[in-house]
Structure 1
Amino acid sequence: MVELDWCLRMILAAICGDFIGFERKTKAKNAGIRTHALIALGAAMAMLVSKYGFFDLLKITHENWAVDPSRIAAQVISGIGFLGAGTILNRHNQVIDGLTTAAGI
């Protein structure tokens, strides 16, 4: 039953990414449906692994270990920030392009 909940969360994240990507595609912007759906799905999957993936190790190893689920979450946020920063382009004629794409990601 728990696995069904995790799958529903990932599907919901992908659907939310689809909505954002569809809105961007209708305005003929970069990073459309597939990009936003994959980023949302990957972020949701990493969060689920971060939150629920390591509690079974506590039973096997030591009972006094502490699991910090925020460590993977912090790296996901940093990685998505780098993806967003990579979409911002500064052209030679001083025109900056890709700010809304970076904000969307």
Structure 2
Amino acid sequence: MDQITAELFPPSQIPYPVIFARILGALLMGAVIGFEREVKARPAGLKTHMLVCLAACTFGIISIESVRLGGFFDERVRIDPLRVVEAVTAGVAFLAAGTIVLSRGEVQGLTTGASLWLAGAIGISVGFGHWIVAGLAVGSAFAVLTIIGYFEAKAVRHQKPDVEPEGKASDEGGKKQA
């Protein structure tokens, strides 16, 4: 039984309560960005952003822990935690690219793709224990998505001419145009 307990709870560079806090923090921070995307009915919403942030955090924690693993104290083995950052960046970029589509001649989903990429960066920040960086990134992202998004939407509404929906236009005689 002791072997099972030792396997489940190996010695850790990061104390287990801190790991728990980092995982919970990543979930909550991902939820802040994901909630805004969910409210706007974007392709990647609450769950997706939470999972991306959680995954990136987990990779960050594992990379820190792997530096201290007993089997890796050989000169021939070099562990570089920054490679995890590169891998997370590439993986999340792949997911983000999947949210970007071309529809009716317009590119859609860029902001959602960018928010997923940022969720990955926030997760890595929390995983490495950089709470201030992660918190500032979440606050900045929320401000950009809500406040700047509000002003952007107002500006776009003022630029577009009033156009009746397709099929509703009529000529002077009251008949529908073809």
Sort the Cα spacing of 1:99 and 1:64 in 2 relative to 1 into closer, same or farther, 3 A.
closer
How many residue pairs end up in the alignment? 103
Aligned-pair distance for 1:64? Answer: 7.4
Task: Report the equivalent of 1:100.
Answer: 111
Q: Which has the larger radius of gyration?
A: 2
Task: Report the equivalent of 2:90.
Answer: 78
Quote the Cα distance in structure 2 between the aligned partners of 1:90 and 1:27. Answer: 19
In the alignment, is residue 67 of structure 1 matched against residue 79 of structure 2? yes
Indicate the RMSD between aligned Cα atoms, in angstroms: 2.0
Quote the Cα distance in structure 1 between the aligned partners of 2:38 and 2:96. Answer: 17
Task: Report the equivalent of 2:10.
Answer: none
Gap runs ≥5 in structure 1:
none
Quote the Cα distance in structure 1 between the aligned partners of 2:26 and 2:20. Answer: 10
Aligned-pair distance for 1:63? Answer: 6.1
Question: Are 2:99 and 2:113, in contact at CA under 8 Å, matched by a contact in 1?
Answer: yes
Question: Are 2:34 and 2:48, in contact at CA under 8 Å, matched by a contact in 1?
Answer: yes
Letter matched to residue 6 of structure 1: I
In the alignment, is residue 33 of structure 1 matched against residue 33 of structure 2? no
Letter matched to residue 85 of structure 2: A
Task: Report the equivalent of 2:29.
Answer: 16
SS at match of 1:15: helix
Which has the higher relative contact order, 1 or 2, with Cα contacts under 8 A spaced 6 or more apart? Answer: 2
Letter matched to residue 68 of structure 2: F
Runs of 4 or more, structure 1, over 3 Å off, are 63-66
- Give TM-score, length-normalised by structure 1: 0.84
SS at match of 2:53: helix
Aligned-pair distance for 1:27? Answer: 2.3
1:4 to 17, 37, 61: 17
Quote the Cα distance in structure 1 between the aligned partners of 2:21 and 2:74. Answer: 32
Aligned-pair distance for 1:53? Answer: 2.2
Gap runs ≥5 in structure 2:
1-13, 117-178
Aligned-pair distance for 1:57? Answer: 2.8
Question: Are 1:50 and 1:73, in contact at CA under 8 Å, matched by a contact in 2?
Answer: no
